[in-house]
Amino acid sequence: MKKAFGFVLAAVLVLSMFTVPSFGLDTVGAYVAKLETAPTIDGVINEDEWGAPVVHVENGAPNITALKKQETQTEEVPELTGDVWIGWDEDNLYLAASVVYDYHANTALLNEQIWDGSCWQVQVGGVFAPGGAEDGRNELGFAVNAAQNRQMTHLWSTPLNPEVSYNDIMVADQNYCVVRNEETKTTTYEVMMPFAAFSADISTLKEGDKVPLSFTFCQANPASLLSACIGFYDWYSGISSTKDITAAPVIELMGADFVPDPNFVPEPAPSPSPSPEAPSPSPEAPSPEQSPSPEQSPSPEEPSAEPSDTGTAEVTPTVEPEPSESPAPSDDGGGLSTGAIVGIILGVLVVAALVAFLVVKSKKK
């Protein structure tokens, strides 16, 4: 009976290795539209400036995880809901968020301490070249001391461009703005990042570029007399539990006509075994000229993306393709990611060792 149970356990381990999804720099976490006009950084988000949101933030929403600061703490992470906008032009990456939560507190005296209270932290890398490495890691934070109405920002990582001062380029009410409204319990963030300051050798952005990015919202503890972080709302990973840009997905830069889907869900899948008799056609990705309109954008009832064999989701338009010279979302090639291959090898070794142990044990009997 024990021997049979051992073989069943081994089979389960083998199957599990091929079903655990893997996210990271080979995953497109969101497609974002180009902004034809730069938004005004004033703490007011409107559709004319920002378009549609890119990410919906709520516990249980796609790719959002609520994490306690300490695993042993009994307090739950306070509820937070909202939306995030991301845009770009040749010179800047634009970020905005509107989030609703009951208790806001950030009493940091120094900017580098803003993480221990209500704030928004973002990590972003340089443009990611398929088959190459990411261009460094930037970790930024934004907050407001509502009692003093003092806006704060900080760059925790080492500046990638030593010729640029972070404090000179990230100026309150010019490059970033954070506003707290206690009547509506809403905090609004707007950020304009001059990309040349956050990349060692890339000065401009272009359509088709992929930028590693993830973020987290820190929640303050209502039971603390001073602001103290009690938990996080993560979009992917790489900030709250680990400092790792490779744990983030990439955002892919699209044309101005593209309409984002805030509930977009990439679904990395095991490497399929293609059938010679019926090869699967590759899904077409939208170019700026044939980007889905709001009526044609994927809905929760209609899957917004089909996974490729690399774990990188490709947007599938619902319109007939038309000839276009504009670049569509790029393809990173085929095959499993390095992490998946390593996981498979290690899993096979574990299973082999387990089977050998059971065989030896049965012979001793």
Per-residue pLDDT of the chain (365 residues; tens, 9 = 90+): 445 444 444 443 433 333 334 456 778 999 999 999 999 999 999 999 999 999 999 999 999 999 999 888 888 999 999 999 999 999 999 999 999 999 999 999 899 999 999 999 999 987 654 444 445 788 999 999 878 889 999 988 766 666 777 777 788 888 999 999 999 999 999 999 988 777 766 778 999 999 999 999 999 999 887 778 999 999 999 999 888 888 999 999 999 999 999 988 886 544 444 444 444 444 444 444 444 443 434 443 443 333 333 333 333 333 343 433 333 433 433 344 444 454 566 666 766 766 666 655 565 55
pLDDT of residue 81: 97
Question: What is the C-alpha separation between 287 and 94, in angstroms, rounded?
Answer: 21
Which among 221, 253, 285 is the end of a domain?
Answer: 253
User: What total number of domains does the chain contain?
Assistant: 2
Q: Is residue 233 part of a domain?
A: yes
Give yes or no: residues 123 and 166 share one domain: yes
In 3D space, the residue among 291, 267, 233 whose CA is nearest the CA of residue 83 turns out to be 233
Which among 203, 229, 253 is the end of a domain?
Answer: 253
Give yes or no: residues 104 and 202 share one domain: yes
Give yes or no: residues 69 and 116 share one domain: yes
Which among 211, 236, 253 is the end of a domain?
Answer: 253
Conformation bin of residue 213: beta by default, left when phi > 0, alpha when psi is -120 to 50: beta
Give yes or no: residues 242 and 165 share one domain: yes
Q: Is residue 209 part of a domain?
A: yes
**Pairing between β-strand 138-145 and β-strand 150-155 as defined by DSSP bridges:** antiparallel
Sequence-ordered list of residues with C-beta below 8 angstroms from that of 306, at least 6 positions apart, any chain? 283, 313, 314, 316
Q: How many Cβ atoms from other residues are within 10 Å of residue 191's Cβ?
A: 22
Residue with tokens 């640029």: 164
Question: What is the C-alpha separation between 172 and 178, in angstroms, rounded?
Answer: 8
Give yes or no: residues 11 and 91 share one domain: no
Are 328 and 290 in contact by the 8 Å Cβ rule? The answer is no
Helix, strand, or coil (residue 308): coil
Q: Is residue 161 part of a domain?
A: yes
Question: What is the C-alpha separation between 58 and 315, in angstroms, rounded?
Answer: 23
Strand order in the sheet with 176-181: 55-58, 81-88, 92-100, 186-194, 176-181
Question: What is the C-alpha separation between 14 and 344, in angstroms, rounded?
Answer: 8
pLDDT of residue 308: 35
Residue with tokens 């760059």: 155
Give yes or no: residues 171 and 67 share one domain: yes
In 3D space, the residue among 94, 115, 56 whose CA is nearest the CA of residue 191 turns out to be 94
Give yes or no: residues 10 and 78 share one domain: no
Q: Is residue 323 part of a domain?
A: no
Give yes or no: residues 12 and 29 share one domain: no
Q: What is the CATH number of the domain that holds 244?
A: 2.60.40.1190
Q: Is residue 219 part of a domain?
A: yes
Give yes or no: residues 216 and 351 share one domain: no
pLDDT of residue 295: 40
Per the structure block, which two tokens stand in for 303? 């899957």
Domain that holds residue 348: 2-16+338-364
Q: Is residue 141 part of a domain?
A: yes
Which pTM value belongs to this model? 0.67
Q: Is residue 68 part of a domain?
A: yes
